[in-house]
Amino acid sequence: GRSALELYSTYLGEHAADLPASGLLFPLSLRTDDGATGVVRTILSVDRETGSMTFAGEIPTGSHVRLMKANFERLIDGAIGAARRSVETLKGSEATLAILISCVGRKLVLKQRIEEEIEGVREVLGPRPAFAGFYSYGEISPFSAGAKCELHNQTMTITTLGES
């Protein structure tokens, strides 16, 4: 019986006054099924008159959402995990090219520490592959090998190419 903005603001406390900007620090983890892998949704705007919020990507009715809090170390660890998963798909081949797409939201949260996620990826992939990439406002990729592609927010997606 409460508006989305009212409920969200309850949990954000003093940070609610800075919405939608402070929303980068408090995205939602979304699951449509109990066993499903979650995707992240970021706030784009709020309408204080109607109590509504607009997110980057859909949130289907009946979804299970969890409020998240940005953590520098976990964001960097997430990039390193993405690098490890991308290497697994090469099945023993060495990467020669890595395409890194990171959400601009991560850059805004990490600020001067943004280089640490690139350094972490480099440690996993080694010195050989050339890196290319850019910042985006949402990433479309599977969460794991063989999964369907979905829209993600505040993630880093990595595509590695190699020759066997």
Is a pLDDT exceeding 80 seen at residue 147?
Answer: no
The phi-psi region of residue 158 (left if phi > 0; otherwise alpha if psi is between -120 and 50; otherwise beta) is beta
Is a pLDDT exceeding 80 seen at residue 80?
Answer: yes
pLDDT grade for 35, boundaries at 50, 70 and 90:
low
**Over residues 118-135, mean pLDDT:** 95
Structure tokens at 52: 């509504």
Give pLDDT, residue 79: 93
Is a pLDDT exceeding 80 seen at residue 146?
Answer: no
Does the reported pTM lie above 0.95?
A: no
**Over residues 135-146, mean pLDDT:** 80
Distance CA 11, CA 4 (A): 11
Per the prediction, the chain carries an average pLDDT of 88
pLDDT grade for 118, boundaries at 50, 70 and 90:
very high
Considering only residues 61 and 83, tell me which one the structure prediction assigns the higher pLDDT.
Answer: 83
Give pLDDT, residue 36: 66
pLDDT grade for 140, boundaries at 50, 70 and 90:
confident
Determine the residue type at 65: V
| Angstrom distances, CA of residue 59 to CA of 17, 40, 96, 137 | 23, 10, 37, 17
Sorted by sequence, the CB contacts under 8 Å of residue 39 that are 6+ apart come out as: 29, 30, 57, 143, 150, 151, 152, 153
pLDDT grade for 34, boundaries at 50, 70 and 90:
low
**Over residues 62-81, mean pLDDT:** 89
